[in-house]
């Protein structure tokens, strides 16, 4: 069962809602250790002075900010603590906005908020009010000595509040700074190309079902690890030849649309109807093997 990583209260107006914070994700990453190929032992990372090559004791380490090449401003622990945000236990709501107004690029890490002792009724009241008004709360909170901007919303399919930390505006790169993005005046498309492109989009349209998508690379790595641990030899397949490039954009669009229609027809859907992509069920074999490897 997940354990809460922070306890506090949501504050809006004169109302406080005691809450507990839970991480909403469980990152699935295959981690490797660096080993000595000759001995099979792990490699130890050491702190070495770049000028002398000697190892530095932990108690001799200080924080430094580089202001120029090899020029640093040394910051003492007490100096850093003097500018850290006050340690509060409150999620202070500053605004309520429409969900559609928030660009997904601002979202960082998701969490769940659950009611703490004595908070069931105000929690439920806030959840239903946000669901009825279809608003998202923008708030600030201090977690682990860092002030974060967060967005809180009521999930539609579950009676729970979800909180996502957000990037500040100056942390998001302005796309106008990209030199490689062509403007509408630089590249012209015709109505025929646009019509086929829209047909292709519609033919691939469907409901978002997140459980259909898998990290196939991670599953393949875990399967390979399981085989090597069992003493099997891993055969490295030769790289497949790249497909010949399609001569032009219109041909690529038509070929893509024809391929989707053929798949639809093969699945038994009517050819005269608007082609609708029928997504195959995800294979369970890779996932089961991955779980087995993870247990080992």
> Taking CA 154 as the corner, what is the angle to CA 152 and CA 156, rounded to the nearest 5 degrees?
145
Regarding whether 158 and 201 lie in a shared domain, the answer is: no
Whether residue 90 lies inside any domain: the answer is yes
Interaxial angle between packed helices 191-203 and 249-266, expressed in degrees from 0 to 180 and rounded to the nearest 10: 30
Q: Note if the pTM is more than 0.85.
A: no
* pLDDT tens for each residue of 192-222: 989 999 999 999 898 989 899 899 989 999 9
Regarding whether 289 and 218 lie in a shared domain, the answer is: yes
Whether residue 101 lies inside any domain: the answer is yes
Q: Is the pLDDT of residue 159 over 80?
A: yes
Regarding whether 213 and 143 lie in a shared domain, the answer is: no
Burial of 45 (0-12, 13-18, 19+ CB in 10 A): exposed
**63-101: b (≥16 Cβ within 10 Å) or e:** eeeeeeeeeeeeeeeeeeeeeeeeeeeebebeebeeeee
* pLDDT tens for each residue of 254-287: 888 888 888 877 765 544 444 444 444 444 444 4
- Say how far apart CA 227 and CA 222 lie, in whole Å: 9
Q: CB neighbours of 66 closer than 8 A, spacing ≥ 6?
A: 72
* pLDDT tens for each residue of 43-70: 998 999 999 999 999 999 999 999 999 8
- Say how far apart CA 256 and CA 202 lie, in whole Å: 12
Query: Which CATH number is 95's domain given?
Result: 2.40.290.10
Interaxial angle between packed helices 216-229 and 285-295, expressed in degrees from 0 to 180 and rounded to the nearest 10: 50
Please count the other Cβ atoms lying within 10 Å of the Cβ belonging to residue 129. 13
Residue 294: the pLDDT is 42
The percent of residues above 70 in pLDDT, for the chain, comes to: 88
Whether residue 222 lies inside any domain: the answer is yes
Give the domain extent around 228: 191-238+246-295
Q: Is the pLDDT of residue 230 over 70?
A: yes
Regarding whether 20 and 144 lie in a shared domain, the answer is: yes
Nearest partner of 113 among 141, 145, 154, judged by Cα: 154
Nearest partner of 158 among 135, 126, 127, 134, judged by Cα: 127
Helical segments of the chain, H only: 77-82, 120-133, 191-203, 216-229, 249-266, 285-295
Whether residue 263 lies inside any domain: the answer is yes
Regarding whether 153 and 211 lie in a shared domain, the answer is: no
Task: Mark which of 118, 139, 171 sits at the end of a domain.
Answer: 171
The whole-chain average pLDDT of the chain stands at 86
Regarding whether 97 and 219 lie in a shared domain, the answer is: no
Bridge partners (DSSP) of residue 247 are none
């Amino acid at each position: 069962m997940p354990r809460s990583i922070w306890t506090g209260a949501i504050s809006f107006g004169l109302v406080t809602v005691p809450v507990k914070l839970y991480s909403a994700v469980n990152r699935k990453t295959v981690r490797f250790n660096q080993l000595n190929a000759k001995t099979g032992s792990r490699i130890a990372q050491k702190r070495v002075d770049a000028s002398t090559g000697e190892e530095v004791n932990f108690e001799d380490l200080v924080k430094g900010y580089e202001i120029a090449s090899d020029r640093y401003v040394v910051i003492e622990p007490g100096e850093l603590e003097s500018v850290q945000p006050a340690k509060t236990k409150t999620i202070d709501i500053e605004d309520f906005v429409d969900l559609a107004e928030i660009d997904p690029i601002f979202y960082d890490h998701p969490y769940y908020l659950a009611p703490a002792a004595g908070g069931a009724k105000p929690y439920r009241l806030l959840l239903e009010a946000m669901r009825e008004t279809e608003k998202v709360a923008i708030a600030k909170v201090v977690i682990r000595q860092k002030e974060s901007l967060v967005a809180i919303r009521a999930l539609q399919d579950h009676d729970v509040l979800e909180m996502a930390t957000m990037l500040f505006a100056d942390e998001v790169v302005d796309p106008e700074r990209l030199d490689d993005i062509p403007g509408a005046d630089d590249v012209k498309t015709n109505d025929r190309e646009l019509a086929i492109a829209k047909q292709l989009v519609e033919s691939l349209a469907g409901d978002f079902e997140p459980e259909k998508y898998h990290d196939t690379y991670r599953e393949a790595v875990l399967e390979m690890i399981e085989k090597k641990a069992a003493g099997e030899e891993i055969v490295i397949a030769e790289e497949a030849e790249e497909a010949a490039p399609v001569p032009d954009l219109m041909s690529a669009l038509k070929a893509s649309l024809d391929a989707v229609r053929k798949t639809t027809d093969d699945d038994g859907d009517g050819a005269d109807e608007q082609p609708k992509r029928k997504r195959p069920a995800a294979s369970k074999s890779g996932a089961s093997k991955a779980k087995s490897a993870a247990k080992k």
